[in-house]
Chain A
Amino acid sequence: MASELPPFDPETAAKFMLGRGHPGWLGLRYVEHGEDWVELALPWREDLVGETGSGILASGPIVSLMDMACGMAIWTATKEFRAVATLDLRVDYMRPARDGAAVNGRAECYRITRSAAFLRGVAHDGDVGDPVAHIAGVFMTIGASRA
């Protein structure tokens, strides 16, 4: 069944995956991808700031951004869409994002086993070499593979 489907393409999938629900509300956008990674963007918005009076995006939306980038990185690496569940996600904040800046999230799926996927990634506000946050996550596939 799944073999008849074209391989998962994050740019195409972003059109519907990011258009609804929580990612849609945040306004997440596709940026670019590689073999095993996906980068998404979280545009700056006044109602997403974390501290009243500051222009700095809250960390909650950054977690959402990274969680979504992780999921899409898994499907990109495995070339198929299978429902996944986040088991745990660790975020280390290096520094606040710049005032008024959009934040990009790049997640890489560096290891996949039969049931678990391991991810790492960064959130940055323009320079991927100077991240706002580092993340590490473990995801589990739910339901049987259709491959």
Chain B
Amino acid sequence: MSGDDTKPHLAHELPAYARSLGIRVERSEDGAPVLALDFSEIVEGRPTVFHGGATSGLLENAGYAALRAELHRRNRQARMKPIGMTVQFLSAAKSKTSYAQGRITRLGRRNANVEVEAWQDDRSRPVATAVMNILMVATGNDE
């Protein structure tokens, strides 16, 4: 499926924190947005390396964006509340653009399990992965 039609909608919904950090919607792939974050001083931890917190922020937003896109597709309106998130750091994210995309492993009525991967040049060599458990509180007239 081409997700280009949903791109402005999704970009608009990135929260203040994500926009402030510089996270953007790069494209949509298989229905889930690919988010991008360029390297800059505000994401730097050790010199020339992404801070683990900035990478986590990118992962987390990609997880929410994947879930938001899926809920939108199912015409469900819900507020998303984090329950838990575990991040595995696999290798140092260097001073170039990082990307992340989430994949929903299970979507229930009340909670969703999402897996997220972040990578730089080579998608097959992720720099970090995360599993997220997100609670959904219905706000609309869905279901």
Given contacts A48-B17, A52-B16, A67-B51, A59 and B42 within 8 Å (CB-CB)? no
Given contacts A63-B87, A88-B89, A51 and B15 within 8 Å (CB-CB)? yes
B31 within 8 A of A: no
* Residues B17 and A58 in contact, CB atoms below 8 Å apart: yes
B residues near A60, Cβ cutoff 8 Å: 17-18, 21, 53, 56-57, 60-61
* Residues A64 and B53 in contact, CB atoms below 8 Å apart: yes
- Total A-B contacts with CB atoms under 8 angstroms apart: 114
Chain A 86-103 interface 0/1 with B at a Cβ cutoff of 8 Å (1 = within):
111111110010000000
* Residues B87 and A21 in contact, CB atoms below 8 Å apart: no
Chain B 32-45 interface 0/1 with A at a Cβ cutoff of 8 Å (1 = within):
00000000011111
Determine the residue in chain B with the shortest Cβ distance to A47. Answer: B20
Determine the residue in chain B with the shortest Cβ distance to A136. Answer: B86
B52 within 8 A of A: yes
Chain A 11-26 interface 0/1 with B at a Cβ cutoff of 8 Å (1 = within):
0000000001111111
* Residues B92 and A58 in contact, CB atoms below 8 Å apart: no
- Tell which of A21, A63, A85 touches B92, judged by Cβ atoms closer than 8 Å: A85
6 contacts between A and B (CB under 8 A): A47-B19, A59-B60, A68-B51, A85-B89, A91-B82, A96-B81
